[in-house]
Amino acid sequence: MKSRWDALLARAAGLSTGLLPGSSLDELSRVTDLDDCASRLMRMGVDIPAEGASLVARLEHGIRRFSAAPVRILASWGRPDPEPVLIFLRDEDRRSLRRLSRGALAGRPSARRLSGLIPTVTLPERILGSLARCSSIAEIGRMLVAWGNPFGSPLLALGSDPRPDPLAVETALDRRWAELGRADARRVGGEFLRYVEDSIDFANARSLLVLITRQGGGEAAGFFLDGGRRLDRAGYLELAKLPNLDELLSALKRRLAGSAFAHALVLSGESLTRFEDVLLREQVREATRRARLEPLGGASLLRFLLRLRVQVVAVSRAVWGCALAAPPSLDGSWEELR
């Protein structure tokens, strides 16, 4: 019987051969010289622009183009059933806009804001570059609205405040993605519905981790997102009343037991500075396990897309590690995520 995933899975399988293997990512993580990093990336097939800004910016540009190519191909192959790829691409856009918004609020250089992003068909390289030069959340929102991007209006709504709450900005992006993602995921079902629901749980858990560092918990209700699998509104508000971070971390492990988020909390040693990288690893591992159980289902496609995210994050960390003379430490090996 022909699977609805056949065309996408076949294309993803072919494209996966072009991903940098874990051994190459491990190799890059140990490099300390930026020119050496550039040479190794070129030998791995990454086209580095010969002219332009600093070498760091050119390396970042090269890996973004390298990672965007399979995204464009998959998006075109997804027609006339685009939702599976679109769900992930919108999530990638959300991730990009979170980083760009943080950069605008912190006044970071535009090249640093672009670090680790993947251009998509809805936020291509040119638009990401323009957004990275914005000086405020309002300006980002106006540009997105002008381009017809669905994330523009929630950011524009926050633009009246010259210094909006960073958590409110990220929650606005998360809420719009959750609305769009749930609508598409209900049509797709299976692994992508699970992915969206888990991602909503994870966003709620993150907001709780931020809120626990603030004084008072009365504001928590405004940051809750509907649609998760394990954490409903009542449970969220109950966790928001916990008195300290240790109790919250323990409660989140119980509430989200069996999820990539709970595994990442354990493996990161509850160090929130390491947590994002560990969570990404756990998401890849979970997709790999589920793909082995159902190789012709959505988990195989999701695994490829998550490995693409691993690629751009790992290379970006390596590049900036060289540039700042502080190579990132590895908590485990990327090779194990083959």
Domain coordinates in residue numbering, the chain: 24-324
pLDDT at 327 over 70: no
Q: What share of the chain is helix, strand, coil (3-state, %, to 5)?
A: 70, 0, 30
pLDDT tens track for 202-242: 999 999 999 998 765 458 889 999 999 999 999 999 999 99
Q: What is the mean pLDDT of residues 34-45?
A: 94
Alpha-carbon distances of 226 from 7, 83, 182, 269, rounded to whole Å: 33, 20, 10, 29
Look up residue 36 and give its DSSP letter. H
Residue 103 and residue 114: Cα distance in Å, rounded? 9
User: Two tokens at 18?
Assistant: 């072009």
Over residues 142-191, the pLDDT tens digits come to 999 999 999 999 999 987 777 889 999 999 999 999 999 998 888 888 88
- Would the pLDDT of 336 be above 90? no
Token reading at 147: 């381009």
Task: Kindly report whether the global pTM for this prediction surpasses the value 0.75.
Answer: yes
Can you give the length of the chain in residues?
A: 338
Residue 329, pLDDT > 70, answer no
**What confidence category does residue 73 fall into, taking pLDDT thresholds of 50, 70 and 90?**
confident
